[in-house]
Structure 1
Amino acid sequence: MHKNHLAIDIGASSGRHIVGWMENGVLRTEEVYRFPNSVQRVDGHLEWDIDSLFANVKQGIREAFAKYPNIESLSIDTWAVDYVLLKNDQPIYPVYTYRDSRTQAVIPEVHSILPFEQLYQRTGIQFQPFNSIYQLYADKKA
């Protein structure tokens, strides 16, 4: 029996659950669940529907295990710059998307504290106005 692995890919417009395994030296995959994902405009900001995302991730895991009960590993891939703040293991709302414009106003202030050249030397990350550092700083100021 081959080893099954579950990959969950959450993109800006949809999410999918894919089971993969090696068969005679060839990687095989099967999409077992797909769901729509979208942002919501609330009070002038763009937010993720985190409750729907979480429910769909759990539903896809259930469906994957129903079809492939011997899944040995699970991984989740998302946008990399977004996050959910937690308090007492519960989400703190709202959960903004990287597409939200709230970071624009704080970029100069962040760079006055940590010039971009130093930030780049420390992280190696190119400048994008939606990078997590700007989002976190905007949240701190809110």
Structure 2
Amino acid sequence: MNDDDFIEQFEACSFPLEQWHHRAHVKLAYLYLTRHGFDAAEMMLRNGIRAYNAANNIPDEPTSGYHETITQFWLRIVDATVQQYGQLPTADEFFEFHPQLSQKKNHRLFYSPGLFMSPLAKREFVEPDLTHFPIVTNATEVG
């Protein structure tokens, strides 16, 4: 599926739930960042994931549903990767070229388990407590 179709299906909440996994989240972050810039991508991801979850009857409970810090963590990691290495023609190419993005547990380098899985981190973004995010000169801008 090409990037435009992927976004269209996600935003229409018709993207197959069985395919809504880590790779799809990273691809969506990449596409929103490179097409709309960091601030807009942040809002679009938050609102889009919440709407998609609601449309698919995913309950928002302590161990399921939208998690703000997870979303923000991956947005920042994808943004740092784009800033450091640049864009590629498609989200799939970007994901394949950066295998480190396939590691769902990367957050363990930045967050202690207690903080990352806390109710506060689920509800709002919390800064890492183990190490800082990579320094990026400025967030991805559309241009």
User: Which has more helix, going by share of residues?
Assistant: 2
Q: Report the TM-score, using the length of structure 2 for normalisation.
A: 0.27
Q: Report the TM-score, using the length of structure 1 for normalisation.
A: 0.28
Larger Rg: 1
